[in-house]
Structure 1
Amino acid sequence: MKLLTLPRAFSRRISTGKVIDNVCGWPKPDYGPMEVQRSELMNGIRVAAAKPMGSYMAACTIMFQAGSRYEIDDQIGATHFLRAISSCTGCAYTAFAKNRHLQQNGASLTCTSDRQSISYTLRCPPTVYPELKYYLLDAATRCCFLNWEIDDRRALIREDLHRIPPEQRLMDILQSVMWCGPLSNSMFCVEERIDSMTADALDCFVKTNFRTDCCSVASVGVPFEETLKLAEKIEARRERPAPRCHMLSCARKGFEYYDLGRCSDTYIALGVPGCGTCDITNLLKHAIIAAACGVGPLAMGQHSTDNTPQPPLGMMVGGDPHTFYKAFNISYAETGIFGIVAKSRASVARMVTQGAAEFLANVGELNFKQIDIGKKRLKVNMCLNDNNCVNSSESLALQLANSVQLDNCACTLGLIESISNDEICCTARRLSHLSPCTAVAVVGDIGEVPHDQFLVHRI
């Protein structure tokens, strides 16, 4: 599950290194500051290419704003199938030929999706990109949806439903109960829909939502001209399509659970309405608040007990190594979720849930010192996660989709510093006032967790 969160969403800096040679006449990297070239085609496709400071690997992403929120009627579960069949036969290449050739060249082709978008990313050495880019184009825009391949993937999708980690299942349930509308659609195809999914339904979803005005193409370590040529091959027509109708989702409070049996480890998530990606400054405020609350323990050794808790959330754990808390912020185009996730043993799940609810209700009491620490944590986390070409490419495509321009990590760090602590405190107090609208999701021993109405009275 790829979600719109910071630091992964809006700031990546290209890793330093040295290109092996200069095949195909491509210019050698100059090791200067990262440059990003942008353009927009007449049909609405947005294109960007980051000039690296030197890298052994390149990445190119084709992203469509066509996540699970756009599934309707018989298309429910389509994005899960699209992820599963992304390696299947296309109009130009068979699945065997693509996968074998990619492996022989040390490359990979991945497909990830969330409720907002779906991304196809090619990762390969820069020298073989001119040849392998057609595999990316084949997977993203020219899949055949052969019935026998879809039937083969049904068993894989059933296995996916059984392999969902508890925390990922928890977040999927929370977002389903949080929204009334398209954002309540799950990222996974439910068991009842697996056998009824057809090639016609998938083809209809793709033709309806894989639109040029909802498409962005971004690359890292690939010349801008090559990226532009790839974007031009996605759609030959130059006309921009008519605007797509958007169905908005309304926030609601509720309680939903998934039972893992008695005495099982219990995961609890509490969320309130957050912010969308349309306002980058507001998004950064929410990210700073989440970092100021603490985003989980800092590992200091090889074992789960070798960690240092990040205050103030980390101090709520006490001496229990089996319990943890962390704050999170998830953003979509126009809205989002801010909340707290907790994990504990079943015997103390009630106390942990009450503590998380009370903390969320009082998040507006963060002081300036804690906010300054949150800014530092966010900056460090951004720099630590700034050297992956795939993440950088997907981040750049996401920036294009949201009309955001952050060419390098320094731009984002400066933007964080420019936000005053007073503004962040006001945002935190607004989140506190939304606590009566808290949505609750539980995965684990549901008998040990208090109901949402009890939590509201506690707050």
Structure 2
Amino acid sequence: MASNAAKVPIFRAVTKCGFSTQTAVKASQNLSRRTEVKTAVLANKLVIASVDNNSPISTVTVLFRAGSRYEQHDSLGNTHILRIAAGLTTKDSTQFGIIRNLQQIGASLSCQTDRETIAYTLHSTSDNLETGLKFLGDVASKQVFKPWELSDNIPRLKYELASLSPYAQLLDLLHRAAYRTGLGNSLFCPDYLVGSHSTESLQHYVKNLFTTNHAAVVGVGVDHGDLLCFAQNLALESGAGQVESASRYSGGDVRRDTAESLAHVAVAVEGTSLKNTKEALAFAVLQYALGVGSYAKWGSSASPLTRAVGSAVGSDPFAVTAFNASYTDSGLFGFVSSSPGNVARQVVEAAVKQLRSGSLPSADIARGKAQLKAAILFNQESNSTLAEDIGTQAVLLGSVLSGPAAVSAVNSITDAEVNAAANKVKSGKLSVAAIGKLAHVPYSDQLT
């Protein structure tokens, strides 16, 4: 079983030239057909979304609004354990049976968690999809959490905690600084709770949150009618499930000193929620306009954020990228940086000054829109990222915006709307998270 706590976006550049207008129109029409999203909502409030793009590989995902934000003080780490437990014995299938049968048909089953969702995903050849769906349904809706199997996976849990990257830890600390509870809950099991999660506590968590009102089923390369039949037969309880409590943005500092020579720092203010689509797109454009890294393998970014930091530190090495995360009721917007500890103050202060500038030139906004549109369309070319995209929209918003529709929405964003988002960032209260060599890293109240 493969399990992922976080994914790094893949950048892919494609250059095309010499196409006639007629060819471009046909290509656009073909893209629209390949990315047409069909949606339905069952009587029990389960959301279904599919894209039948005639791919030889079918991807089906069952998602639940049951991420780490729903954990209470006595259930911290539950989502990490659930991710590891994906593929263990269920009511109808043994662990050995799940693994062997999926291997026999060349399929894979994975579980991914974030702060709002848990997603169980099956990848299978289309001709073996029916067999694979049986085991996806078992893993997603018929868990039993046998105590001895949970105990057998404690070494794996310890390994995952010991091998967390500084970047994963940094974003965890940033959310803790910004929200404290709810969205501030860690994606990972606290060290002091390793081995303490019981069958009863996991079953209670699943019973309260793995309900039809909290769920969505999405498919790519799947017939919509077949997906409906699968969704209707899932062993999920109907009902509202646990009520989501709003996360209040607080701001502040969380720091963790380590022995390494680098300082990794994340600074953010409160952004916007996914439910405000127009503003969420404006913040997404602002992120790309500020800069999300180099687009050339051996080159450096010419973005405002990189230029500002480069001018401050001279020839010293550094890396900086804009950061944007939107959730159902809030969001974070800022930057993430890495540098030698002795120049961390200059890096952070220069990046904050650029972040607080309040407006951007039209040329940078145009570049940001172009890069965002390219990123949206690149995601449409992979079944995995396409399923992840429409799945997140379906389970959190109850509706799905297709790739071409999203591009059209980005085109409608004006410079004034992007600069309004920038002005919101300018006046926001800072949250600062840092890990590494932190002697020279400023605190939030030392930054303006």
Alignment TM-score, normalising by the size of structure 1: 0.87
1:33 offset after TM fit, Å? 4.4
Match of 2:283 in 1: 286
Determine if contact 1:170/1:268 at 8 Å carries over to the other structure. Answer: yes
1:383 offset after TM fit, Å? 2.4
SS at match of 2:40: strand
Write the deviation string for residues 268-307 of structure 1: whole angstroms up to 9, x where unpaired. 000100111112211111100000000012242xxxxx22
C-alpha distance in 2, partners of 1:294/1:30? 28
Match of 2:389 in 1: 395
C-alpha distance in 2, partners of 1:7/1:429? 30
Match of 1:13 in 2: none
SS at match of 1:342: strand
Match of 1:42 in 2: 43
Corresponding letter in the other structure for 1:347: N
C-alpha distance in 2, partners of 1:30/1:449? 47
Q: CA RMSD in A?
A: 2.3
C-alpha distance in 2, partners of 1:167/1:30? 35
- 1:446 pairs with 2:429: no
- 1:258 pairs with 2:256: yes
Write the deviation string for residues 135-182 of structure 1: whole angstroms up to 9, x where unpaired. 111111111100011001112111111111101110010001100431
- 1:432 pairs with 2:426: yes
Match of 1:353 in 2: 348
Determine if contact 1:294/1:313 at 8 Å carries over to the other structure. Answer: yes
- 1:56 pairs with 2:49: no
Matches within 5 A, 1:118-197: 118-197=118-197
Determine if contact 2:214/2:240 at 8 Å carries over to the other structure. Answer: no
Match of 2:299 in 1: 307
SS at match of 1:230: helix
Corresponding letter in the other structure for 1:399: Q
Determine if contact 2:174/2:267 at 8 Å carries over to the other structure. Answer: yes
Gap runs ≥5 in structure 2:
12-29
Determine if contact 1:317/1:324 at 8 Å carries over to the other structure. Answer: no
Write the deviation string for residues 73-104 of structure 1: whole angstroms up to 9, x where unpaired. 32111000000110211111111221222223
Q: For the structure 1 residues 2 and 384, does the alpha-carbon distance in structure 2 shift closer, same or farther, using more than 3 Å as the test?
A: farther
Determine if contact 1:327/1:339 at 8 Å carries over to the other structure. Answer: yes
1:373 offset after TM fit, Å? 1.0
Corresponding letter in the other structure for 1:64: F
SS at match of 1:144: coil
Q: For the structure 1 residues 385 and 49, does the alpha-carbon distance in structure 2 shift closer, same or farther, using more than 3 Å as the test?
A: closer
1:124 offset after TM fit, Å? 0.9
Matches within 5 A, 1:42-121: 42-52=43-53, 54-121=54-121
Corresponding letter in the other structure for 2:140: A
Match of 1:217 in 2: 217
Match of 1:19 in 2: none
Instruction: Point out the more displaced range, 176-185 or 284-293.
Output: 176-185
Write the deviation string for residues 37-86 of structure 1: whole angstroms up to 9, x where unpaired. 2111111101111121x312110000000101111132111000000110
Determine if contact 2:211/2:241 at 8 Å carries over to the other structure. Answer: no
Match of 1:25 in 2: none
C-alpha distance in 2, partners of 1:202/1:295? 38
Determine if contact 1:299/1:307 at 8 Å carries over to the other structure. Answer: yes
SS at match of 1:278: coil
- 1:336 pairs with 2:355: no
Instruction: Point out the more displaced range, 394-403 or 66-75.
Output: 394-403
SS at match of 2:123: strand
C-alpha distance in 2, partners of 1:415/1:4? 25
Corresponding letter in the other structure for 1:286: F
Match of 1:419 in 2: 413
Greater relative contact order, per chain length (Cα 8 Å cut-off, separation 6+): 1
Match of 1:274 in 2: 271
Corresponding letter in the other structure for 2:42: L
Determine if contact 1:181/1:247 at 8 Å carries over to the other structure. Answer: no
C-alpha distance in 2, partners of 1:37/1:31? 12
C-alpha distance in 2, partners of 1:197/1:282? 40
- 1:317 pairs with 2:302: no
C-alpha distance in 1, partners of 2:65/2:423? 32
Corresponding letter in the other structure for 1:258: R
C-alpha distance in 1, partners of 2:331/2:57? 33
SS at match of 2:338: strand
C-alpha distance in 2, partners of 1:267/1:323? 10
Determine if contact 2:210/2:236 at 8 Å carries over to the other structure. Answer: no
Instruction: Point out the more displaced range, 246-255 or 143-152.
Output: 246-255
C-alpha distance in 1, partners of 2:172/2:8? 15
1:242 offset after TM fit, Å? 4.1
SS at match of 1:365: coil
C-alpha distance in 2, partners of 1:132/1:404? 26
Determine if contact 2:64/2:118 at 8 Å carries over to the other structure. Answer: yes
C-alpha distance in 1, partners of 2:196/2:148? 14
1:386 offset after TM fit, Å? 2.4
Determine if contact 1:3/1:330 at 8 Å carries over to the other structure. Answer: no
In the comparison of the two structures, how many residue pairs are matched? 423
Determine if contact 2:175/2:183 at 8 Å carries over to the other structure. Answer: yes
SS at match of 1:329: strand
Determine if contact 1:181/1:248 at 8 Å carries over to the other structure. Answer: no
C-alpha distance in 2, partners of 1:243/1:82? 18
Match of 2:25 in 1: none
Match of 2:18 in 1: none
1:388 offset after TM fit, Å? 1.4
Q: For the structure 1 residues 5 and 216, does the alpha-carbon distance in structure 2 shift closer, same or farther, using more than 3 Å as the test?
A: farther
